[in-house]
Amino acid sequence: MTKRWCVDRRRFLSGTAGAMGAAVFGRLPLGEMVEQGAPPAVQDWDTGQVRHLLPTVSDSRLLLKASFDRALAAAPTLRVGSAAIPGRMNDTAGEHWQFYATDLEPGRRYSLSLEAADGRALCEPWPLSTFPAPDARPDRFRLLFFTCAGGPGGSYDGIGQRAGFLPTVIRNRLLRRALSFAPDAAVANGDHIYWDLHTWQGDNAGQLSPSGRRSNFDFSDAVFGASNETAMKAAAGPQIVPVYGSDFRSTPMFFLQDDHDHWENDAVTDAIASFPVPWFQLQLARATQQLYYPEFLPDATRPAGLPWSSATDRGDLSESFGSLRYGNLAEVLLYDVRRTMNLGGPNAVFVDAQVERWLLERTRASGVGHLVHAPSNPFGWSAGKWGEWYPDFLDRENGALTTAVAKPYWQEGWLKQHDRLAQAIGTQPGRAPVIISGDLHAVGVGRMHRAGAVNLSARPITTVLSGPIGTSIRGFPSVVRGIGATTPAHLDIEESVAPVEDHGFTLVDFLPDRMVLRQFKWDVDRESLVAIDRLEPFYQTELPRPG
């Protein structure tokens, strides 16, 4: 199959009359856009003392992460219907709490409320529904996917040009537009924070970065307590709390961590490798998750002993490997490829062998209408970075990927695992094979017809880049690396939507006989702020169940 290659849109605009057209016919300067602020909240709701609320649910459980605008001296209570759930303090100051409710009824809409120890309401009550039981037969499920919502607040220079991550108020607006379509749940796939502790470009690669120096972390001490906890909150909190606030209080969330969530980029030098995760950064990643967003709830079909599951300090929760089950209609397998990646050469893996076994078993199992893989590292495209599935190396002289040059430190076992997963995904009976990934700062859709020796032509895998929410101007691969998301030599990819480096998101409707996939994008360089509020899909496709 002939591969489809395209000129990167941003590079085209920067060097042609297209750039002039964007300047003449485009939107307000970014500074004016920011001054317009975020749109009204999804609905009027009294936040009280709440800074942020992020829940997740299963058919019988609920986990809520919350923070408050001042420390609470005694445990607050979450009321779920008639049940009272005492809060567990997640930090050492009393600003961050979690609430874990079990033995709930499937498919029930509950009224939730938060109370201080003296009975005072901490915010207005709100609704949240559990998922249907695994054997229930719902007729529809809508799921929102996005990636890369993190980054410091964003800025612009004196002439209104973008100088950093997308400002928080614009991220709010994009997410609120996504919520306006009333998804039943949302998957935030990686890169919730950016605060890399080491520098990975230039002469000082591998040295402590400006972010690391500003944080002033003591790598020999614990994260919680004293200055490390203060620094961690100061770095991570502003990238998460104001982005979500309480907007998702009634929308269950599933957060996957990726490289930057471990406080590092996926890079390597002779002196230092960012992965496997150094111990202190592993503790930072765990602490960030503990404070700000929910872990994965137990699932009867997911082994309790997978890595980073059922740890003594997290109970029966799973940190890196999760599953979303919505009746017998849909199942989504969520897996972080960074936490267990190793450097074992031909035997190297991204996901631990026991995790791979679970993924293969669930992919081959029957009993659910649709199954989607949602890894943190994308299938289908490469930017020539080190920690990817693929061996393609970026030839900066020619601005193209090549396999004629060995990619330093890349591990051939990673690609072998990729092909084992692709083989299982592409040959599952009775379901359309789909992978929806994060990380690569683009919106796109392709059909994978071949992965090395694995022939997928009978039932190509639909592989999706879900769309970034907050990506910095230097976060787009074509800007920082000179090449956008590109199909690697190992694959035959038919690009239904060649990856576009715009901000956006993906919605998937699961119906008994098909999936309906819709993609949304917004161009910060050429579109107005109010255009976000009327975004409609720029691409839509239906994926019918075979037979």
For residues 355 and 307, is the Cβ–Cβ distance under 8 A?
A: yes
Question: Taking residues 538-547, what's their average pLDDT?
Answer: 95
Cα separation, 438 vs 188, in Å, equals: 8
C-alpha torsion angle, residues 87, 63, 355, 505 (rounded to 10) = -130
- What is the SS3 assignment for 481-512? CCCCCECCCCEEEEEEEEEECCEEEEEEEEEC
- What is the SS3 assignment for 43-59? CCCCCCCEEEEEEEECC
Is 367 part of any domain? yes
Cα separation, 151 vs 195, in Å, equals: 8
CATH number at residue 416: 3.60.21.10
Question: Taking residues 411-429, what's their average pLDDT?
Answer: 97
Predicted TM-score (pTM) of this structure: 0.93
Is 509 part of any domain? yes
User: Two tokens at 391?
Assistant: 């061996």
pLDDT bin (cut points 50, 70, 90) of residue 77 is: very high
Is 2 part of any domain? no
Cα separation, 458 vs 438, in Å, equals: 26
Question: Taking residues 23-38, what's their average pLDDT?
Answer: 47
For residues 17 and 81, is the Cβ–Cβ distance under 8 A?
A: no
Instruction: Print burial letters for 381-400: b (CB count within 10 Å at least 16), e (below 16).
Output: bbbbbbbbbbbbbbeeeeee
Would you tell me how many other CB atoms lie within 10 Å of the CB of residue 409?
A: 13
Is 396 part of any domain? yes
Is 3 part of any domain? no
Concatenating the DSSP letter of every residue in 449-468 gives EEETTEE-TTSPEEEEEE-B
Which residues, other chains included, contact 393 with Cβ-Cβ below 8 Å and sequence gap of 6+?
384, 401, 402, 403, 405, 406, 407
Is 134 part of any domain? no
Is 450 part of any domain? yes
Write down the pLDDT at residue 30: 52
Cα separation, 353 vs 306, in Å, equals: 10
What does pLDDT average to over the chain? Answer: 91
Is 135 part of any domain? no
Instruction: Return the minimum-mean-pLDDT range out of 9-18, 79-88, 276-285, 504-513.
Output: 9-18
Cα separation, 53 vs 72, in Å, equals: 16
Domain that includes residue 124, residue range: 9-93+102-129+140-544
Write down the pLDDT at residue 12: 32
What is the domain count for the chain?
Answer: 1
* Burial of 208 (C-beta count, 10 Å sphere; 0-12/13-18/19+): middle
Output the CA torsion sign for 297, 303, 308, 312: positive
